[in-house]
Amino acid sequence: MRLINHFIDGQTVSEPGRLGDVFAPSIGQVQAQVELAEVSMLDRAVTNAKLAQREWALTNPQRRARVMFAFRQLIEDNMLDLAELLASEHGKVVSDAQGDIQRGLEVVEFACGIPHLLKGEYTEGAGPGIDVYSIRQPLGVVAGITPFNFPAMIPLWMLAPAIACGNAFILKPSERDPSVPVRLAELLIEAGLPKGILNVVHGDKTIVDAICDHPDIKAVSFVGSSDIANYVYQRAAAAGKRAQCMGGAKNHGIVLPDADLDQTVADILGAAYGSAGERCMALPVVVPVGEKTAAALREKLIAGIEGLKVGISTDPDAHYGPVVSAQHKARIESYIDLAIEEGSELVLDGRGFSLQGYEEGYFLAPTFLDRVTPEMKSYQDEIFGPVLQMVRTETLEEAVGLASSHQYGNGVALFTQNGAAARWFMHEVEVGMVGINVPIPVPVAYHSFGGWKRSGFGDMDQYGMDGVRFYTRSKKVTQRWPNSGGKVIDQSFVIPTMK
């Protein structure tokens, strides 16, 4: 059976010990095993990273950018192989896996501009003969802890800006689909990255805790569930580290009476059920405004959902594939059970779905629940599966209140043709990422990604300029070159001012 090793100092490294199973979700069978590191393996990775980082930080930004350019090309050249490998372990269809990689690739492209992004500020003549300037310097060794649902995109969101800024990076990917992160590390070495700058250490909570506690790791980036995001943030901060920790979501799609319903339904179907709903930017709650809107939307949603095809990850006609594990499938089904117990109307039931020839796969057909209310736990929690819930409201203000008062504040979308309503909505809704007729409002790579409330812990977002700021620290220099012939020109024992 295939064994997935750690990647340290530019090569795969094996450590006999604990192993985790890596499943093929389409068939429900173990296809590989991944080594689960002990703290000693993390220490080894950090030691190598620390030794390599000093010289990498002194490499000029243009040369670091050239590595990113070469890395970008290698990802493009290997796109299909990477996507097929990703799909085999995650379960998402290959076309969706390619989208996963592409969104990460766009952050690599952003990092190619690092010479410009790292430029500081300069003021000549801030005082008599005094110039003031600032520079951005790397932190040293930093780490990223990434989830199963985007095994290419999210590691690239973190490691590309971190490495381009001159840091060394320790990546702890999900143990459920760990192969693509290792392959990306191999491609970075091929692109010219010095050995030791990127290290991949597989593991579970043992390694998560060790990363948070390690004195030589200066910053931690995390994406996962909100409870774990909060835990990592608190533990890393207690150890004196900089931390950005992105959590869960319950994104709302609000539909006004003037919305183009055909386009809206097409958008909602892709956002709710794409990738089997296993993404923090999925749209699992639709909020029609007015009963007339709700009735028309419901009818069109039912027709659209019934036309969706569930298939194996390599089926080019499938809209989505299996969920990641048997345990996660059971969790989703338990939330459907709960929603029914709470009084939701089960319109379409995805439980009990079986794909001929793949009966052991972790498949769920799309589920649609209507007449969901805000006090229901199934509404309050993140289900993270192919389940769409409809919450009916009478006014836009009521709908905005729903999204704004939810414990998560990750993403929200408004479907309308009314510019004034959209502008008011954008300003008033208390959510970090807003879409206007855009169902999945993930910012492009040169902006930054991040939610509010329990969707994000820390004061800096992922990638974009916030990523550059997160992985660097600013040094401010005030300089004077007096030309006084050796004579002291002033002496002061008070705080200097420009008085």
- pLDDT tens for residues 248-267? 999 999 999 999 999 999 99
- How many other C-beta atoms are found inside a 10 Å radius of the C-beta of residue 249? 29
What 8-state DSSP symbol labels residue 276? G
pLDDT of the residue at 129: 84
Residue 191, pLDDT > 70, answer yes
Helices (H), 139-204: 153-164, 179-190
Which segments of the chain belong to CATH 3.40.605.10?
2-247+455-477
pLDDT of the residue at 450: 95
Residue 491, pLDDT > 80, answer no
Rg (CA), the chain: 25
Question: Do residues 141 and 42 lie in contact, with contact meaning Cβ atoms separated by under 8 Å?
Answer: no
What's the one-letter identity of residue 1? M
Q: What percent of the chain has pLDDT over 90?
A: 94
pLDDT of the residue at 249: 96
Give the mean model confidence (pLDDT) for residues 99-126: 95
Q: How far is Cα of residue 360 from the mean position of the Cα atoms in its chain? A: 29
Question: Do residues 24 and 88 lie in contact, with contact meaning Cβ atoms separated by under 8 Å?
Answer: yes
- Residues 350 and 323: their CA atoms lie apart, in Å, by 12
- Residues 419 and 426: their CA atoms lie apart, in Å, by 10
Give the mean model confidence (pLDDT) for residues 477-483: 87
CA quadruple 222, 226, 232, 238: dihedral sign: positive
The burial class, CB within 10 Å (0-12 / 13-18 / 19+), for 252 is buried
The burial class, CB within 10 Å (0-12 / 13-18 / 19+), for 446 is middle
Helices (H), 191-325: 205-213, 226-238, 261-273, 291-306
Residue 488, pLDDT > 70, answer no
- Give the pLDDT band (50/70/90) at residue 486: low
- Residues 321 and 73: their CA atoms lie apart, in Å, by 28
Which of 394, 385, 389, 386 minimizes the C-alpha distance to 372? 389
pLDDT of the residue at 475: 96
List the end-to-end C-alpha distance of the chain, in Å, as a whole number.
74
- Residues 481 and 396: their CA atoms lie apart, in Å, by 62
Q: What is the pTM of this model?
A: 0.94
Largest distance between two CA atoms of the chain = 92
pLDDT of the residue at 12: 95
Cβ contacts of 235 within 8 Å, gap of 6 or more: 209, 212, 213
- Residues 23 and 90: their CA atoms lie apart, in Å, by 8
Q: Evaluate whether the domain defined by 252-436 bears CATH number 3.30.70.890.
A: no
Residue 492, pLDDT > 70, answer no
What are 69-78's pLDDT values in tens digits?
Answer: 999 999 999 9
What are 8-45's pLDDT values in tens digits?
Answer: 999 999 988 999 999 999 999 999 999 999 999 999 99
Question: Do residues 362 and 29 lie in contact, with contact meaning Cβ atoms separated by under 8 Å?
Answer: no
DSSP 364-417: ---EEEES--TT-HHHHS---SSEEEE--BSSHHHHHHHHHHSSEESEEEEE-S
What are 122-139's pLDDT values in tens digits?
Answer: 999 988 889 999 999 999
pLDDT of the residue at 499: 64
Helices (H), 91-131: 94-111, 114-117
Residue 479, pLDDT > 70, answer yes
- Residues 198 and 208: their CA atoms lie apart, in Å, by 17
pLDDT of the residue at 15: 83
Q: How far is Cα of residue 298 from the mean position of the Cα atoms in its chain? A: 31
**Which of 112, 165, 212, 280 is labelled catalytic?**
280
pLDDT of the residue at 168: 98
Which segments of the chain belong to CATH 3.40.309.10?
252-436
Question: Do residues 325 and 25 lie in contact, with contact meaning Cβ atoms separated by under 8 Å?
Answer: yes
Q: What percent of the chain has pLDDT over 70?
A: 97
Cβ contacts of 27 within 8 Å, gap of 6 or more: 358, 360, 361
- CA dist 187 → 15, 53, 172 (Å): 22, 19, 17
What are 335-383's pLDDT values in tens digits?
Answer: 999 999 999 999 999 999 999 999 999 999 999 999 999 999 999 999 9
Give the mean model confidence (pLDDT) for residues 85-103: 97
- Residues, the chain: 499
Residue 493, pLDDT > 80, answer no
- Residues 211 and 259: their CA atoms lie apart, in Å, by 47
The mean predicted confidence, pLDDT, of the chain is 95
- Residues 292 and 118: their CA atoms lie apart, in Å, by 53
pLDDT of the residue at 498: 63
Residue 481, pLDDT > 90, answer no
Tokens at 277, concatenated = 């709903």
Active-site annotation holds for 280? yes
223: phi then psi, degrees, rounded to nearest 5: -135, 130
Question: Do residues 462 and 450 lie in contact, with contact meaning Cβ atoms separated by under 8 Å?
Answer: yes
Fold annotation for 2-247+455-477: Aldehyde Dehydrogenase; Chain A, domain 1 (3.40.605)
Give the mean model confidence (pLDDT) for residues 302-309: 98
What are 396-410's pLDDT values in tens digits?
Answer: 999 999 999 999 999
Which of 185, 166, 157, 234 minimizes the C-alpha distance to 45? 185
